[in-house]
Amino acid sequence: MNMNATLLGQAITFVLFVWFCMKFVWPPIISAIEKRQKEIADGLASAETAKKDLELAKANTSDIMQQAKVEANAIIEQANKRKASIIEEAQQEATRERERIVAQGLAEVEAERKRAREELKQQVARLAIAGAEKIIERSVNEAANSDIIDKLVAEL
Amino acid sequence: MTISSPSSPQEYIKHHLHSLQFGEGFWAFNLDSLFFSILLGVIFLSIFHRVAHKATTGVPGKLQCAVEMIIEFVDKTVKDMFSGQNKLIAPLALTIFVWVFLMNLMDLLPIDFLPYISQQLGLPYLRVVPTADVSITMSMAIGVFLLIIIYTFKYKGVKGFIKDYTLHPFNHWAFAPINLLLETVSLLSKPISLGLRLFGNMYAGELIFILIAALIPWWSQWVLSLPWAIFHILIITLQAFIFMVLTIVYLSMASETEDH
């Protein structure tokens, strides 16, 4: 048995075997590996995208929050103004009312005073007449003198 | 030990089944098996070590992908089979699987390439497939055997160990001698079957390659040896897987605490 010839035969086999492995054994293994690699890469990429989305959403929310704050402030401002104006109005209204009431009261007081004064005049007149009657001691025709009395009253 | 070119098929076969030995009788060391098993172990460890150190959490490279796939596969197998919690089992299974696979893989190299080179270097004999050497497979099997005993002690204690071997399968003290005999046989059969199965498969595979090389004219050898080599891809993977699975199963049995 020639060692060299055997080596040659084995070399043929080995070449064919390597070719077989390259053709049929290696591709499925490497494709499995590449598939796994791709899956991992995709997973990482999608995680990255999700992260970015989240950041974007966060930024958005803070924007919205800011806006909402501004709006709320504006509304509060407006409400404050409105409140102030309502109070102002109410105050003015109240002042007017008070003035009206006071004026009415004054008028009433005035009328009362006038009435009392009138009454007083009449009583004073009656007293004067009674005094005059007593002084005169004689029944004087009241009717005949009433014009004098009226004149007196008017003069009081 | 002189350099001699074998001239007849018988001599050729004999030559190829002879290990490069150092020493005599039981104390002979098969240097070639030792060398190749250690070399392959170092290759396995250095590749995995490098990948483990360079491992990235981002998109992995192709080598890292391949290593990850092997580790995931072994991890899944261990999780499916080993009921308890143990940190040793998965690395042990991984080492067994990859190492045995690499040693088996040597079978696919043309049987004369490395021996021819070594002959030019002055080494008269060389067997390149460590797992076709019964000493290597049996030494691995004995390692597993020792682990079985250690695990039995660890998980069941001395009492459990004694109980396992005296009150099983017949749960009565009167049967203790018979139980002991049966259980001893079953215990011893584990490493023997483990080691001899791998050895037998690899030895037979190697022998067929040798026979093809020895008996068939060189220009037509590929007709037989190519299909055999292709078939061998399956065998070497399967044998590595079986060795791993049986190791896991034996250790799982040893660490199961419940009586059945």
pLDDT per position as a tens digit, B211-260: 888 888 888 888 888 999 999 999 999 999 999 999 999 998 888 766 54
Residue with token string 């190829």 = B16
Percent of chain A with pLDDT over 90: 65
Q: Which residue has the higher pLDDT, B161 or B100?
A: B100
The number of folded domains in chain B is 1
The rounded distance, in Å, linking the Cα atoms of A22 and A60 is 54
Q: What is the largest CA-CA distance in chain A?
A: 196
| Element (DSSP H or E) covering residue B21 | strand B21-22
- Please spell the DSSP secondary structure of B157-225, one letter per residue: HHHHHHHHHHSSSS-SGGGHHHHHHHHHHHHHHHHHHHHHHHHHHHHHHHHHHHHHHHHS-GGGHHHHH
Please, which residues bridge with residue B29 across strands? B22
Best mean pLDDT range from A9-23, A47-61, B21-35: A47-61
Provide the pLDDT confidence category of residue A52 given band limits of 50, 70 and 90: very high
- Amino acid at site A106: L
Please, which residues bridge with residue B229 across strands? none
Q: What is the pLDDT of residue B198?
A: 94
**A47 and chain B: CB distance < 8 Å anywhere?**
no
By the 10 Å C-beta count (0-12 exposed, 13-18 middle, 19+ buried), B139 is classed as middle
- Asked if residue B260 is part of any domain, the answer here is no
The mean pLDDT of chain A is 88
B169-224: pLDDT as tens digits = 777 788 888 888 988 898 899 999 999 999 999 999 999 988 888 888 888 888 88
Provide the shortest C-alpha distance from residue A39 to chain B (in Å): 9
Tokens, residue B14: 């004999």
B101-111: pLDDT as tens digits = 999 999 888 88
Lowest mean pLDDT among B11-15, B79-83, B151-155, B256-260: B256-260
Length of chain A: 156
- DSSP conformational letter for B123: -
Residue of chain B minimizing CA distance to A10: B110
Are B56 and B37 contacting, i.e. CB atoms less than 8 angstroms apart? no
**pLDDT higher than threshold 50 for residue B5:** no
Q: What is the pLDDT of residue A84?
A: 95
- Asked if residue B207 is part of any domain, the answer here is yes
DSSP, collapsed to helix, strand or coil, labels residue B153 as: helix
- Please spell the DSSP secondary structure of A22-69, one letter per residue: IIIIHHHHHHHHHHHHHHHHHHHHHHHHHHHHHHHHHHHHHHHHHHHH
Q: What is the pLDDT of residue B173?
A: 80
Nearest to B140 by CA among B199, B87, B221: B199
Task: Please name the member of B7, B219, B230 whose beta carbon is closest to the beta carbon of A1.
Answer: B7
Q: What is the pLDDT of residue A4?
A: 63
Q: What is the pLDDT of residue A150?
A: 80
| B 26-55 near A (Cβ less than 8 A) | none
B129-164: pLDDT as tens digits = 999 988 999 999 999 999 999 988 888 888 888 888
Provide the shortest C-alpha distance from residue A15 to chain B (in Å): 10
Q: What is the pLDDT of residue B49?
A: 93
The rounded distance, in Å, linking the Cα atoms of B147 and B41 is 20
Residue with token string 């009392």 = A116
The number of folded domains in chain A is 1
Q: Name every chain A residue with its beta carbon within 8 A of the beta carbon of B8.
A: 1
The rounded distance, in Å, linking the Cα atoms of B83 and A41 is 34
**pLDDT higher than threshold 50 for residue A62:** yes
Q: What is the pLDDT of residue B2?
A: 35
- Amino acid at site A30: I
Are A3 and B32 contacting, i.e. CB atoms less than 8 angstroms apart? no
| Element (DSSP H or E) covering residue B29 | strand B29-30
Task: Please name the member of A13, A30, A37 whose beta carbon is closest to the beta carbon of B221.
Answer: A13
Provide the pLDDT confidence category of residue A11 given band limits of 50, 70 and 90: confident
**pLDDT higher than threshold 60 for residue B10:** yes
**B177 and chain A: CB distance < 8 Å anywhere?**
no
Residues 6+ apart with CB under 8 A from A113: none
- DSSP conformational letter for B17: T
Residue of chain B minimizing CA distance to A2: B7
Residue of chain A minimizing CA distance to B107: A14
- Asked if residue B23 is part of any domain, the answer here is yes
The mean pLDDT of chain B is 86
The rounded distance, in Å, linking the Cα atoms of B221 and B212 is 6
- Asked if residue B2 is part of any domain, the answer here is no
Domain of B94? 9-255
Are A10 and B110 contacting, i.e. CB atoms less than 8 angstroms apart? yes
Helical residues (DSSP H) of chain B, grouped into ranges: 9-16, 31-54, 62-81, 89-105, 113-120, 134-166, 176-215, 221-255
Q: Can you tell me the mean pLDDT for B52-81?
A: 88
Q: What is the pLDDT of residue A111?
A: 94
| Element (DSSP H or E) covering residue B22 | strand B21-22
Residues 6+ apart with CB under 8 A from B125: B15, B18, B19, B20, B21, B32, B115
Domain of A129? 3-155
Q: Name every chain A residue with its beta carbon within 8 A of the beta carbon of B111.
A: 10
Lowest mean pLDDT among A40-49, B4-13, B75-84, B152-161: B4-13
Q: What is the pLDDT of residue A100?
A: 94
Q: Which residue has the higher pLDDT, A138 or A47?
A: A47
Beta pairing class for B21-22 and B29-30: antiparallel
The rounded distance, in Å, linking the Cα atoms of A14 and A136 is 175
Calculate the CA A74 to chain-centre distance.
9
